Homo-oligomer: A and B are copies of this chain.
Amino acid sequence: MPKVEGRGKERKKRAEEKLVALGAEIIEDIARVVPPRLKIPSRSTSNIVYDEANRYFVLGPHYGVRSAASIKQVKKFAQTMCVADFCKELITSKKFATLREMYYTAEGWESGPFGDQGESDAILEDLEAAFGLKREDLGLTPEEDGAAVYGQLVIKEDDVTIDATKAGRAGYTIPPTIDDVEFVKCKAKRVIAVETMGMYHRLVQEEAWKKFDALIVGLKGQAARATRRFLKRAHDELGLPVYLNCDGDPFGFHIAMVIISGSAKLAYINHELAVPDAKYIGVTASDIVEYELPTDKLRELDIARLKQLQKDPRYNTEFWQGEIKKMLELGKKAEQQAFAKYGLAYVVNKYLPAKLEQVEGQKFLGAG
């Protein structure tokens, strides 16, 4: 899969070139009276493979052919052309649209309206997979904003410069168009991303961003695409280590793992999103014992999920296998906020310094 480097404008330009080339090819075929065809990488489960070298899921070598000469495929072919044209228009007019807006816009297309949004989304994914480009580079954005960021980072959006210590307590919100954002200055030395906004506000309030020279990122549960892209850019462009602090349960583990190794569902675009060097510093089964944390009993769903994770190639390390096994034996889980048992500041004064020392080997004397 060819990697596309660079920020917003360059990426858009690259996307535009690909769209124009696609159109030119089709016109050429038509001029030569050859039925135009598209090669689209297969996104079926059998073509999703874990790439041991890159440490994330990628698409395998299989692809399908969509031909304008096939009665069965011609409508989908036309729809693909219309989606590509819509993307081209968005890029040319420097606009963005949501997937939902595209679905509704299609009411007026020559290819006719889509049956439901699943159909229009799938065609966009075809283009993403074919080009190795994210939908955001094609002008389409998800509805949801990304995480909150607080710390010593200065960024630029269009003509606006924003200091992520001066955007308010709730922090700077990562927009869906994160690749348009320029990193101007960063004094932070690491990223600490936390699962819940409760923990985010705790860390901002206790000035963890200052104590640990860190960008504090509030994930709001499962990380949005924009958040994952932000974390990848912070790691790759700013050279910051990324640490993930989640609840000590299978869902917390997996929030971290999707950031680290990407999801199978987005195998076609994980090279743009995964942060394989990100490290888990969240609650573990060992922590539950060591810190005598308040716990909840594992539900059946938790147990089933933990057993799935045991077999997942992304969890095939000594650390994860050990912690999953231990959690199953304990039969218990614990949340990040459980450290409040020892006082509100404990997580910043004791727990995080201990965790950071484990991963970085240095003491954080400023804390506590």
Contacts and interface: CB of A to CB of B under 8 A. Distances in A.
Contact of A173 (B104, B162, B171, B202): B171
Contacts of A343: 105
Interface in A173-194: 173-177
B97 A340 contact: yes
A79 to B, nearest CB: 16
Interface in A213-232: none
Nearest to A174: B170
Given A107-B294, A202-B101, A145 B197 contact: yes
A169 B197 contact: no
Interface in A246-301: 294
B173 A201 contact: no
B162 A167 contact: yes
Nearest to A196: B143
A61 interface: no
Nearest to A144: B197
Nearest to A99: B198
A348 interface: no
A55 interface: no
A80 interface: no
A100 B157 CA distance: 35
A141 interface: yes
A328 to B, nearest CB: 24
State the majority secondary structure of interface residues on A: mixed
A343 B86 CA distance: 11
A349 interface: no
A95 B12 CA distance: 45
Nearest to A167: B167
Given A167-B162, A173-B173, A101 B198 contact: yes
Contact of A169 (B102, B108, B157, B339): B157
B170 A175 contact: yes
A100 B168 contact: no
Contacts of A339: 104
Contacts of A148: 145, 173
Contact of A141 (B102, B161, B201, B337): B201
A198 B176 CA distance: 10
Contacts of A105: 340-341, 343-344
Interface string A118-150: 000000000000000000000001011110100
A338 interface: yes
B205 A96 contact: yes
A67 interface: no
A141 B199 CA distance: 12
Contact of A172 (B161, B168, B335): B168
A45 B72 CA distance: 59
A170 B145 contact: yes
A172 B148 CA distance: 11
B168 A157 contact: yes
A111 interface: no
A47 interface: no
A111 B336 CA distance: 23
B344 A97 contact: yes
Given A101-B202, A108-B341, A145-B197, 5 more contacts: A95-B344, A96-B201, A97-B340, A104-B335, A145-B170
17 contacts: A97-B344, A100-B335, A100-B340, A101-B198, A101-B337, A104-B337, A104-B338, A104-B341, A105-B341, A107-B294, A143-B197, A145-B197, A157-B168, A167-B172, A169-B177, A170-B173, A173-B173
